[in-house]
Amino acid sequence: MEGGAQPSSLRDPPGPGSAEQDGVPGERDGGEGPPEVKRSQPLFIHSSSRPVPPEEPRASSLPAIPNPFPELCSPSNSPILSSPALGQGPPREGASHVVKVFGEDGACRSLEASAATTARQLCETLVRRTRALQDQSWALVELHQHLALERCLEDHEAVVEVQSSWPPGADSRFVFRKNFAKYELFKSNASLFPEVMVSSCLEANKSMAHSELIQNFLNSGSCPEVQGFLHLREPGRKVWKRFHFSLRRSGLYYSTKGTSKDPRHLQYFADLTESNIYYVTQGKKLYGTPTEFGFCIKPHKVRSGVKGLKLLCSEDEQSRSCWMAAFRLFKYGMQLYRNYQQAQARLSQPSWIGPTPLRSVSDNALVAMDFSGCTGRVIENPSEVLTVALEEAQAWRKKTTHRYSLPAACQSSPLSAAIHRTQPWFHGRISREDTQQLIGRQGLVDGVFLVRESQRNPKGFVLSLCHLQRVKHYLILPSEEEGRLYFTMDDGQTRFADLIQLVEFHQINRGILPCKLRHYCTCVAL
Q: pLDDT below 50 — which residues of the chain? A: 1-88, 352-365, 396-415
pLDDT at residue 166, as a whole number: 92
pTM tops 0.75, yes or no: no
CA–CA separation, 305 and 147 (whole Å): 8
Q: What is the DSSP string of 79-116?
A: TTTSPPPTTSSSPPTT--EEEEEE-TTS-EEEEEE-TT
Question: Between β-strands 519-520 and 448-453, what pairing exists: parallel, antiparallel or unpaired?
Answer: parallel
Domains of the chain: 96-178 (3.10.20.90), 184-347 (2.30.29.30), 421-520 (3.30.505.10)
pLDDT at residue 506, as a whole number: 95
pLDDT at residue 388, as a whole number: 65
pLDDT tens sequence across 56-76: 444 444 444 444 444 344 344
Picking from 341, 320, 114, 298, the residue whose alpha carbon sits closest to that of residue 228 is 320
CA–CA separation, 468 and 287 (whole Å): 27
CA–CA separation, 400 and 403 (whole Å): 6
Main-chain phi, psi angles of 313, to 5 degrees: -150, 130
> What does the buried/exposed string (b/e) look like for 383-420 if buried means 16 or more CB atoms within 10 Å of the residue's CB?
eebeebbeeebeebeeeeeeebbbeeeeeeeeeeeebb
Taking a C-beta distance cutoff of 8 angstroms, is the pair 404, 497 a contact? yes
**212 C-beta neighbours (distance < 10 Å), count:** 10
CA–CA separation, 497 and 494 (whole Å): 10
> What does the buried/exposed string (b/e) look like for 335-347 if buried means 16 or more CB atoms within 10 Å of the residue's CB?
bbbebbeebeeee
CA–CA separation, 385 and 388 (whole Å): 5
pLDDT at residue 393, as a whole number: 53
Radius of gyration of the chain (CA): 27
pLDDT at residue 22, as a whole number: 41
pLDDT at residue 362, as a whole number: 42
Taking a C-beta distance cutoff of 8 angstroms, is the pair 152, 139 a contact? yes
pLDDT at residue 195, as a whole number: 84
pLDDT at residue 374, as a whole number: 55
Instruction: List strand residue ranges (DSSP E) for 325-458, in order.
Output: 369-370, 377-378, 448-453
pLDDT at residue 366, as a whole number: 54
CA–CA separation, 431 and 428 (whole Å): 9
Give me the percent of the chain exceeding a pLDDT of 90.
Answer: 41
pLDDT at residue 406, as a whole number: 36
